[in-house]
Structure 1
Amino acid sequence: MTNPAGKLPTNIESKPSRRRFIKQTGAASVGAASTLAASRLLRGDEPVENEKQMIRVGLVGAGGRGGGAMNDTLTINDNIQMVAIADLEPGKCERLRKSLQPRYGDKVAVDDKNMYGGLDSYKRMLDNPDVDLVLFATPPGFRPTYVLEAVEAGKHVFAEKPTCVDPAGYKVCLEADKKARANNTAIVTGTQYRRQTNYVEAIRRIHEGAIGEIVSGTARYCSNGIWFKQRKEGMSDMEYQLYNWMHFIWLSGDQITEQAVHNIDAINWIMGGPPETAFGSGGRFTRPEGSEMWDNMAIDYTYPGNRVVSFMCRQIPSTQSENGNVIYGTEGIATILGSNSGASIVDRDGKTIWEMEGNIGAAYKQEHKDLVDSIRAGKPIVELRETAESSLTAVMGRMAAYTGKKVNWDFVVNESKLDLFPQDLDIKGKGAARGFAIPGKEKLI
Structure 2
Amino acid sequence: MTSPQNPSLPTPERDGELTHSSCNDPSRRKFIQTGTAVSAALASGLATTRVARGDEPVDNSDSQLVRIALVGAGGRGTGAADDSLSINENIKLVAIADLDEKVPGMTRGRMAKRHGEKVDVPDEKLYSGIDSYKAILEDPDVDVVMFATPPGFRPRYVAEAVDAGKHVFAEKPTCVDPAGYRICWEAHKQAEANGTCIVTGTQYRRQTNYIEAVKRIHEGAIGDIIAASARYCGNSIWHKTRREGMSDTEYQIYNWMHYIWLSGDQIAEQSVHNIDAINWIMGGPPESAFASGGRFTRPEGSEMWDSMSVDYKYPGNRLVSFKNRQVPGAQSDNSNTIYGSNGHAVIYGINRGAFLYDKSGKEIWSMEGDLSAAYKQEHKDLVDAVRSGKPIVELGETTDSSMTAVLGRMSAYTGQDVTWDFVTKESKLDLWPENFDIQGELPEPKYAVPGKTKLI
TM, length-normalised to structure 2: 0.89
CA drift of 1:433 comes to 3.5
Moved over 6 A (4+): none
1:8 alignment counterpart: none
Does the Cα contact within 8 Å between 2:191 and 2:393 map onto a contact in 1? Answer: yes
Question: How far, CA to CA, are the matches of 1:304 and 1:326 in structure 2?
Answer: 18
Higher share in helix: 1
- The one-letter amino acid of 2:74's match is G
Does the Cα contact within 8 Å between 2:207 and 2:374 map onto a contact in 1? Answer: yes
CA drift of 1:47 comes to 5.2
Q: Does the alignment pair 1:379 with 2:387? A: no
1:24 alignment counterpart: none
- The one-letter amino acid of 2:441's match is K
CA drift of 1:432 comes to 5.5
Write out per-residue CA displacement over residues 288-323 of structure 1, whole angstroms, 9 at most, x where no aligned residue.
101110010000000000000000001111110000
CA drift of 1:395 comes to 0.2
Question: How far, CA to CA, are the matches of 1:363 and 1:139 in structure 2?
Answer: 22
CA drift of 1:424 comes to 1.1
Question: How far, CA to CA, are the matches of 2:451 and 2:285 in structure 1?
Answer: 26
Write out per-residue CA displacement over residues 97-136 of structure 1, whole angstroms, 9 at most, x where no aligned residue.
1111111100010001001100000111101111100000
1:173 alignment counterpart: 184
1:19 alignment counterpart: none
1:442 alignment counterpart: 453
- The one-letter amino acid of 1:148's match is A
Write out per-residue CA displacement over residues 204-224 of structure 1, whole angstroms, 9 at most, x where no aligned residue.
000000010001000000011
Question: Superposed, which structure 2 residues align to 1:107-256 within 5 Å?
Answer: 107-256=118-267
- The one-letter amino acid of 1:223's match is G
1:358 alignment counterpart: 369
Question: How far, CA to CA, are the matches of 1:40 and 1:402 in structure 2?
Answer: 48
1:64 alignment counterpart: 75
Question: How far, CA to CA, are the matches of 1:273 and 1:152 in structure 2?
Answer: 27
Q: Does the alignment pair 1:82 with 2:93? A: yes
Question: Which of 52, 65, 71 is matched with 2:63 structurally?
Answer: 52
Question: How far, CA to CA, are the matches of 1:93 and 1:347 in structure 2?
Answer: 52
Question: How far, CA to CA, are the matches of 2:393 and 2:263 in structure 1?
Answer: 23
Identity score, percent:
65
Question: How far, CA to CA, are the matches of 1:43 and 1:146 in structure 2?
Answer: 25
- The one-letter amino acid of 1:259's match is Q
1:25 alignment counterpart: none
Question: Superposed, which structure 2 residues align to 1:95-114 within 5 Å?
Answer: 95-114=106-125
Question: How far, CA to CA, are the matches of 1:440 and 1:40 in structure 2?
Answer: 56
Cα distance, 1:323–1:42 mapped onto 2, change above 3 Å: farther
Question: Which of 296, 301, 314 is matched with 1:290 structurally?
Answer: 301
TM, length-normalised to structure 1: 0.91
Does the Cα contact within 8 Å between 1:44 and 1:380 map onto a contact in 2? Answer: no
- The one-letter amino acid of 1:147's match is V
Q: Which has the higher contact order (CA 8 A, sep 6+)?
A: 1
Question: Which of 335, 346, 356 is matched with 1:335 structurally?
Answer: 346
Question: How far, CA to CA, are the matches of 1:251 and 1:101 in structure 2?
Answer: 30
Greater CA drift, 38-47 or 398-407: 38-47
- The one-letter amino acid of 2:24's match is L
Write out per-residue CA displacement over residues 63-106 of structure 1, whole angstroms, 9 at most, x where no aligned residue.
00000000100000000000000000011111111111111100
Which stretches in structure 1 are left out of the alignment for 5+ residues?
1-28
CA drift of 1:375 comes to 1.0
Q: What's the Cα RMSD here?
A: 1.3
- The one-letter amino acid of 1:61's match is G
Question: How far, CA to CA, are the matches of 1:114 and 1:55 in structure 2?
Answer: 17
Question: Which of 248, 266, 284 is matched with 1:273 structurally?
Answer: 284
Question: Superposed, which structure 2 residues align to 1:291-330 within 5 Å?
Answer: 291-330=302-341
SS in 2 for 1:346: strand
Question: Superposed, which structure 2 residues align to 1:6-21 within 5 Å?
Answer: none
**Alignment size in residue pairs:** 413
Which stretches in structure 2 are left out of the alignment for 5+ residues?
1-20, 37-58
Greater CA drift, 51-60 or 39-48: 39-48
